Amino acid sequence: MNTRTLALIAVSIATLIYGVTFTIAKDVMPLHIKPYGLILLRVSGATIVFWLASLFVKAEKIEKSDYKKILLAAFFGVGFNMLTFFKGLSLTTPISASVMMVTSPILVFIFSSILLKEKLVKRKIIGVIIGLIGTIILIVYGNDTDGSASNRTLGNFLVFVNAASYGLYLILVKKIIAKYHPIVFIKWLYLFGLLIVTPFGLPELTEVNWLTMPTSIYLKVGFIIIFTTCITYLFNLYGLTKLKPTTVGVFIYLQPVIATIFALIVGSDSLNLVKISATIIIFFGVYLVTKRVDKFAK
């Protein structure tokens, strides 16, 4: 089996993990562990894993000026990103949340045009507008009688804010990630992220009744820490070393598909016309934004 095939398998597994996480995390919160408490568990667990992993990597000294950049990246890529995502997911449904995440490429384009002064193309601008229309439809009208979502409108909006935060994070780390070994970078990223989420997560974590919590919930929390955080990062990292970033990026579009199938199988969510329509509109907008520009086109 060649390295490209292995890389595609690794990225596929990472995408599968992300897809089922929407439902698994929804099973954990807010009934057993509140959102911010779950985030603290996830970030602290990942911090320990990555710092242990760094023991097997050649030590690199971080430039003093880069600590501020890593701290800013930690705010948007770990702290604010996870706080809005898990809080939003606790209020909405797995399918709606997974669809909102697909808006990330649109938001990356917006931030790239603002911060990196990337060239604006009419087709991409139209794609942004169409994608945002689909997003607004899902946020405002994506409500149904499903009792698993206590405040779907707010939840969808928070997941959208999370996608925006992560999109900004991708822009911020574009240059700095090339300077250091990925494990060295990520261990500091998560350490700073841990400092950010602790004040929010600690009060909720102290409320958890560990003695009465079912074994299945312990296993799901472990899955989120080890697989959703650590394994997916390592698998995507391997994929990026063997595949083009655009190839890896395409896999984000499979997340809603996997999330929908898994959620429907276990009965944690349902489909309706608004969700289907909004999804089609968002995907079309993303297609226009991410489609390669013909270099010979005027």
Residue-level pLDDT, tens digit, the chain, 298 residues: 778 888 888 888 988 898 888 889 888 987 899 999 999 999 999 999 999 999 998 878 889 889 999 999 899 988 998 899 888 888 887 777 777 777 777 777 777 777 767 676 777 778 778 877 877 777 676 555 455 556 778 888 898 888 888 878 877 877 787 788 888 888 999 999 999 999 999 999 999 888 889 999 999 999 998 998 888 878 877 776 777 655 666 676 677 777 777 878 877 667 677 778 877 887 787 677 666 554 433 3
> What was the pLDDT predicted at 239?
78
Query: What's the token pair of residue 172?
Result: 């911020």
The residue to which tokens 């994929």 are assigned: 239
Q: Which of 188, 231, 199 is nearest to 74 (CA)?
A: 188
Q: Which ranges of 122-242 would DSSP assign to H, the alpha helix? A: 122-141, 152-176, 182-205, 215-223, 232-242
Q: Looking up tokens 């955080």, which residue turns up?
A: 229
Query: For the whole model, what pTM was predicted?
Result: 0.76
SS3 8: helix
| Cα 261 off chain centre by | 19
d(CA 112, CA 119): 9
Residue 38: the pLDDT is 92
Encoded tokens for 244: 């083009």
Neighbours of 61 (CB within 10 A): 8
Task: Say if CB 282 and CB 134 are below 8 A apart.
Answer: yes
